[in-house]
Amino acid sequence: MSIISEMPVGTAEQLKETSVGNSRQSTLAAKQGDIGAGNQSIQPAAKSIDLALPEVPPLADVLLEPLVRNTLQEDLGRAGDLTSNYIIPAEAYASLRLAAREHGVLAGLDLARIAFRLMDPAIKFLPLMRDGQRLNPGDVIATVEGPARAILSAERTALNFLGHLSGVATATARIADVIRPFGVKVTCTRKTLPGLRMVQKYAVRVGGGSNHRYGLDDAILIKDNHVAVAGGVHQAVERARQAAGHMVAIELEVDTLEQLEEGLAAGANIILLDNMSPDMLREAVRIVNGRAVTEASGRVTLDTVADIARTGVDYIAVGAITHSVKVLDIGLDDAGAAAPGEIREI
């Protein structure tokens, strides 16, 4: 089941509503299953989503420019944009607008802006929305005006970033909206597309999710193969504790309750509960009893995520929100007007 295609997200109008955080008491009640009846999965419609996504601090241009520049260079190749250069007069001016064609969550606006600026500083890019806003079909995201050749040459790079990252944010929001009532957060993984990890993780934050470790060097995650080579759970965790600095978290992946007990005794800070049933997750949370952060993973979909959240885990890891998302349909359309005195060819 595709995470991105099965459930609408809230609308731009709903983004304006003021959100009130749940009390600790209601969060705990939700985790114990008081929200919803029995084991039914929550299926919120767009109209039921009344929480605005928080505004996420943007990534600095100095971080984004190398990625955008390399992407433009890849597209322009050895001879530049033959189509635009041969067909569009050098003096042609275009007035276009970036517009949403389906519901979703916007992400990647700065990369689009940088793509047009790098192509020609004379291009005027005016954002009308911000990353994190809920999109409706027809919403105008930004206007783009300037030399037509340069705009058309940067178009695909800008749309690729916008469509993909908005897809990541949308997929994340659909999961986050379902589990929010339970006080649980969705987190991404290292299953990102090569070269795009920084911006994909940014899009996850934009969609209301949390970031897992960025790479192999910022946290310790002991998985089954590490345990096997190290000789056991206790040996693996103990060696990690002895070598790691006090700022480095140690997470242990377990798939049995016996491993869980051993990992807690060894001092793991975070327990990754892998491919466990809801009943087993609930028992694992009871055993942990606040001694470590709990994270569930494995075969998470919109159909299963509410039942997982009800077990009381702290986080739910979903690799699909970065590695298997559907691009959000965003287009660059004719705005219908040209600058005074300019040749208009678009």
Out of 177, 253, 262, 307, the active site residue is 253
Out of 156, 197, 241, 326, the active site residue is 156
Query: Could you give the CA distance from residue 227 to residue 251 in angstroms, rounded to a whole number?
Result: 12
List phi, psi (to 5°) of 254.
-130, 150
Q: Is 223 a catalytic residue?
A: yes
Query: Could you give the CA distance from residue 154 to residue 145 in angstroms, rounded to a whole number?
Result: 12
Q: Is 191 a catalytic residue?
A: yes
Q: Is the dihedral of CA 52, 170, 276, 197 positive or negative?
A: negative
Query: Could you give the CA distance from residue 26 to residue 16 in angstroms, rounded to a whole number?
Result: 24
Q: Is 329 a catalytic residue?
A: no
Q: Is 333 a catalytic residue?
A: no
Burial of 208 (0-12, 13-18, 19+ CB in 10 A): buried
Out of 69, 101, 190, 191, the active site residue is 191
Out of 101, 130, 223, 344, the active site residue is 223
CA distances from 189 to 95, 295, 322, 345 (A): 40, 12, 8, 45
CB atoms within 10 A of CB 257: 14
Out of 102, 238, 261, 274, the active site residue is 274
The Cβ-side half-sphere exposure at 45, using a 13 Å CA radius, reads 1
Q: Which residues are catalytic?
A: 156, 191, 223, 253, 274
